Amino acid sequence: MSQHTARIAWQAPGDSSSESFKEAFKKGRYSREHTWAFDGGVTIMGSPSPSVVPVPYSNPAGVDPEEAFVASLSSCHMLTFIYLAARAGFVVTSYVDDAVGTMVKNERGVPWIGTVVLNPTVEYQPGSAPNHEQQKDLHHRSHAECFISNSVKTEIVVKGFD
């Protein structure tokens, strides 16, 4: 079918051959800032969440993997929703989602994002809006057809349409 790539790169800061870096590295005292580069040419700063790795070894300005995971699920749901709405004859003019992922521990005590709640607000061209039941159906179908939601075991809830 298709492949999707990203280049993730980390480089030791400063003089990585020094004895002081070696000792700091072994104690976990090194920056985890890195880059994510995508085939379209976009490069963004990545970092662990400060809730996982404290500053200065993380950078709150970077995108952390957990945020990216939540954004990926939300984005895929949105793109699928807009596609399905268009196919059904509804004209979407705005879609905003304040998605929230919640980290919990699994049965082995390992943290994971157990739930992602999508909070979509969708606006339509006047006279082109589905009723509540039709929107609910569009969201259920979007979840069922989203490539990313089909790739994970995380529970995904669409607030107001679950």
Is it the case that residue 107 has pLDDT exceeding 90? yes
What is the pLDDT, as a whole number, of residue 138?
Answer: 97
HSE-up (13 A, CA, CB side) for residue 2: 3
Q: With 80 as the cut, is the pLDDT of residue 162 above it?
A: no
Check if the beta carbon of residue 47 is closer than 8 Å to that of residue 58: yes
Strands, E, within 98-136: which ranges?
100-105, 111-118, 120-124
pLDDT computed for residue 61 by the predictor: 97
The class level of CATH for 1-63 reads alpha beta
pLDDT in tens, 133-156: 999 999 999 999 999 999 999 999
Domain ranges of the chain: 1-63, 65-158
Tell me, what's the pLDDT at 56? Answer: 95
What's the pLDDT at 11?
95
Please work out, in degrees rounded to the nearest 5, the angle formed at the alpha carbon of residue 36 by the alpha carbons of 80 and 5: 55
For residues 117 and 159, the answer to whether their CB atoms sit within 8 Å is: yes
Collapsing DSSP to helix, strand or coil, 125 comes out as coil
Chain segment 63-100, per-residue pLDDT in tens: 999 999 999 999 999 999 999 999 999 999 999 999 99
Architecture of domain 65-158 in CATH?
Answer: 2-Layer Sandwich (3.30)
Percent of residues, the chain, with pLDDT higher than 70: 100
pLDDT in tens, 7-58: 999 999 878 889 999 999 999 999 999 999 999 999 999 999 999 999 999 9
pLDDT over 90 at 161, yes or no = no
Instruction: Estimate the crossing angle of helix 132-145 against helix 65-87, to 10 degrees.
Output: 120
